[in-house]
């Protein structure tokens, strides 16, 4: 097939990139070679529009065992000769086109990133964004995504222990599906994604290669439109049972010591794994594509190279030990084929049916090598001027706050996600400690030790939309706050950065400022970034109008409990306990669920946030928990203090009597989402010591009231029984999802 600049553009390359490819090769590429550059230089693989910003993030720390982006996932020392491997990635575009397989293969792919490093996955989380759920199309997307996550995770045998779900109009066309996995590995049993050096043998293991997922990386680096359903072949198809076999076989193969390196075949398939492993080792590979097991006849060379069929990995093996690897995969009834060898020099040779199909250097293909790096234009978004005009004094306090609270409580963003979570198995492997003990973060026991992992995913995109820098700081800080409230110590983060088109200067401003905010917070909390994923082009084009999603930098945070008995939960424990707010109540309704969902105000400022104040409060909460001075801890976030109190009351059916603070608007006191606040309950016998500790640390607190009865009582007024609020909480989303269309 003849190639031209038009061919290059059809594959997602620019005219300048087409010229650069010719310069690298010293000749005109053939179609297969052009396809290789297309997928490897897509944003999804090369990070060409984002890498300069990403490099500003803190990427080193005392617990990190590998540098950010160096391996398939982050690796953190948790002590006792153990490491935690964890990562979060997106599968947004595939899920918007084919929600079941898109979400399922997102889960499968992130787990492979974990066990290709030698770790056994022990926990799965997710972060999901949907449009308004009463829309028939959106209901189908929700159903498909949730079923895909549940079916794959449940069959694979890893518990889904936590996550977050938001429903907002900005995601009516582009939904976000971010999947996170964490695993445990013993020291000395990790595997690197490297080819090692010349003379090693190259194997492909796992499922046979098909035509699904071809140009999936390019598909992920383009806008969705009304015609995107025609890109269905770019969506991969998963098989969790095959992946379970692949997990067990791979961990067994690693223990032989015969494995030099290993990499999951995710985005760009064989192309990506061969080029990245070679570039890392400073060598090349000679690959015979005719030896790749395929499940469809007459596949072309470029189809085999670019296929993103799932449950496959590339393994580089020490020469002379091929038989050991073959016998293990044969025992597990998995295809395992030797397809080539590593060679001297920075060159990748792909042969097919006795002919050289493509010959390209490895280093220019990959991030950090010769892949393009761009600096994009930034422009402060015009809508921020509208936000700057917001005046809280022009928002009247509702005459019936009780009715306003009921309306707020009917928001699917605040309601229980039990319609979703009951489709997930959270108890498989019996390590989950928070299935029946509600906590701000998921806590997972590390078997054979006294340790537990605390895990969370967090991002309120409304805050980032209102102020990208401050919103980025809040995303990290709230994740840390959740870890701390669960009794853990924040250790490190992974991130999934979901934004619109980077060629839009306003979108790139959001991206750059959000990263700046994340970096500021990560440095303060000493939680370095271990890696993650950038997902651009989350926007929809219709009738000439482009609609990007809210900027959504999802934070996946890892925390550690050295003693799992120190785990803290959010539920009130006993009648008579005092209820305190650590932090300060403020006249603030900015970007709150109440302002947006109840009053319909789209443009309002980010809620109050101060990084130093946030850090001080988290340090104080850690000290209180370590000294057993609080019975419960729950951070104030979506829905404000009222939502926080009801969430703490529901698990045991314990009510509360509280007083609002003088000098604060009552709606702001009830529903405001000002940051850096934690509600705790305290035994009466420990109040003096509790207050003394906070005073010594110069941290503000105010007594709200007392745990009492089974009703919600505010300023002496009865606001209903806890059981009534719980009934609404548990049925809102279920009623929406099961209503007749």
Active-site residue list: 44, 91
| 426: Cβ contacts below 8 Å, ≥ 6 apart | 159, 160, 161, 432, 435
Question: What token pair was written down for 566?
Answer: 């120190």
Residue in 521, 535, 509 with CA at minimum distance from that of residue 129:
535
Which of 593, 605, 603, 577 minimizes the C-alpha distance to 682? 577
Take residue 523 and report the two structure tokens written for it.
Answer: 């440095």
The 10 Å Cβ neighbour count of residue 738 is: 10
Residue 432 is given by DSSP the state: B
- Which residues are 165's β-sheet partners? 128
> What does the alpha-carbon distance between residue 646 and residue 586 come to, in Å, rounded to a whole number?
20
Residue 79 three-state SS:
strand
What secondary structure does DSSP assign to 1-52, as a single string?
----HHHHHHTT--HHHHHHHHHHHTS---HHHHHHHHHHTSHHHH-TTTHH
E strand or H helix that includes residue 347: none
How far CA 697 is from CA of 484, 617, 636, in Å, comes to 17, 9, 20
Question: Both tokens of residue 601?
Answer: 């105000």
Give buried/exposed letters for 569-582 (b at 16+ CB in 10 A, else e).
bbbbbeeebbbbbb
- Angle CA(473)–CA(474)–CA(475) in degrees, nearest 5? 95
Give Cβ neighbours of residue 300 (< 8 Å, ≥ 6 apart): none
Q: Where are the alpha helices (DSSP H) in 566-677?
A: 593, 611-626, 640-649, 666-671
SS3 labels along 170-184: HHCCCCEEEEEEEEE
The radius of gyration of the chain's CA atoms, rounded to the nearest angstrom, is: 26
Residue pair 104/149 in contact by the 8 Å Cβ criterion: yes
- Report yes or no: 455 and 182 within 8 Å, Cβ to Cβ: yes
Q: Who's near 14: CB < 8 A, 6+ residues apart?
A: 8
């Amino acid at each position: 097939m003849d190639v031209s600049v038009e061919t290059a553009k059809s594959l997602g390359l620019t005219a300048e990139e087409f010229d650069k490819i010719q310069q690298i090769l010293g000749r005109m590429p053939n179609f297969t070679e052009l396809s290789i550059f297309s997928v490897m230089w897509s944003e999804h693989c090369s990070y060409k529009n984002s890498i300069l910003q990403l490099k500003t993030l803190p990427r080193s720390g005392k617990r990190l065992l590998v540098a950010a982006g160096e391996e398939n996932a982050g690796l953190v020392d948790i002590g006792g000769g153990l490491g935690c491997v964890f990562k979060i990635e997106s599968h947004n575009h595939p899920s918007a086109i084919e929600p079941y397989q898109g979400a399922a293969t997102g889960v499968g792919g992130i787990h492979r990133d974990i066990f290709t490093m030698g770790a056994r996955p022990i926990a799965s989380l997710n972060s999901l964004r949907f449009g308004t759920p009463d829309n028939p199309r959106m209901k189908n997307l929700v159903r498909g995504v949730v079923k895909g996550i549940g079916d794959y995770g449940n069959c694979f045998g890893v518990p889904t222990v936590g996550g977050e779900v938001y429903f907002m109009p900005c995601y009516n066309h582009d939904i976000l599906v971010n999947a996170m996995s964490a695993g445990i590995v013993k020291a000395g049993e990790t595997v690197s994604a490297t080819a090692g050096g010349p003379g090693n043998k190259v194997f492909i293991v796992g499922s046979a290669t098909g035509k699904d997922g071809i140009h999936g990386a390019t598909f992920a680096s383009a806008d969705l439109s009304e015609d995107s359903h025609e890109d269905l072949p770019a969506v991969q198809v998963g098989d969790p049972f095959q992946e379970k076999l692949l997990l067990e076989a791979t961990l067994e193969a690693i223990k032989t010591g015969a494995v030099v390196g290993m990499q999951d075949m995710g985005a760009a398939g064989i192309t990506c794994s061969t080029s990245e492993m070679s570039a890392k080792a400073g060598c090349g590979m000679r690959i015979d594509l005719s030896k790749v097991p395929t499940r469809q006849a007459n596949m072309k060379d470029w189809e085999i190279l670019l296929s993103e069929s799932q449950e496959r990995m590339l393994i580089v093996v020490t020469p002379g030990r091929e038989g050991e690897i073959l016998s293990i995969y044969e025992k597990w009834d998995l295809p395992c084929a030797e397809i080539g060898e590593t060679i001297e020099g920075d060159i990748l040779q792909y042969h097919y049916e006795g002919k050289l199909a493509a010959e390209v250097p490895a280093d220019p293909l990959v991030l950090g090598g010769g892949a393009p790096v761009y600096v994009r234009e930034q422009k402060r978004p015009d809508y921020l001027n509208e936000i700057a005009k917001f005046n809280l004094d022009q928002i009247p306090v509702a005459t019936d706050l009780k009715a306003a609270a009921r309306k707020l409580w009917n928001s699917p963003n605040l309601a229980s996600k039990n319609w979703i979570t009951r489709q997930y198995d959270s108890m498989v492997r019996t390590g989950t400690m928070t299935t029946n003990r509600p906590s701000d973060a998921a806590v997972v026991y590390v078997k054979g030790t006294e340790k537990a992992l605390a895990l969370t995913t967090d991002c309120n995109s409304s805050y980032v939309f209102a102020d990208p820098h401050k919103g980025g700081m809040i995303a990290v800080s709230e994740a840390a706050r959740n870890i701390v409230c669960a009794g853990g110590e924040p250790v490190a983060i992974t991130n999934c950065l979901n934004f619109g088109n980077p060629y839009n200067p306003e979108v790139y401003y959001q991206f750059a400022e959000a990263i700046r905010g994340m970096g500021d917070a990560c440095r303060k909390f000493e939680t370095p970034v271990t890696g993650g994923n950038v997902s651009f082009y989350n926007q929809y084009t219709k009738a000439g109008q482009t609609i990007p999603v809210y900027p959504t930098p999802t934070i996946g945070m890892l925390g550690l409990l050295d003693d799992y008995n120190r785990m803290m939960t959010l539920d009130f424990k006993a009648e008579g306990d005092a209820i305190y707010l650590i932090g300060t109540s403020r006249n603030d309704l900015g970007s709150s669920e109440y302002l947006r969902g109840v009053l319909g105000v789209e443009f309002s400022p980010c809620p109050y946030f101060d990084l130093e104040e946030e850090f001080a409060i988290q340090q104080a909460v850690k000290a209180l928990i370590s000294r057993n001075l609080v019975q419960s801890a729950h951070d104030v976030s979506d829905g404000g203090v009222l939502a926080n109190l009801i969430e703490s009351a529901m698990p045991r059916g314990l009510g509360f009597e509280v007083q609002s603070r003088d000098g604060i608007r009552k709606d702001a006191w009830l529903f405001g989402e000002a940051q850096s606040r934690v509600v705790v309950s305290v035994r009466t016998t420990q109040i003096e010591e509790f207050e003394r500790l906070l005073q010594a640390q110069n941290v503000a607190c105010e007594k709200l009231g007392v745990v009492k009865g089974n009703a919600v009582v505010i300023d002496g007024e009865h606001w209903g029984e806890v059981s009534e609020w719980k009934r609404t909480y548990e049925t809102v989303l279920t009623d929406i999802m099961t209503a007749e269309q």
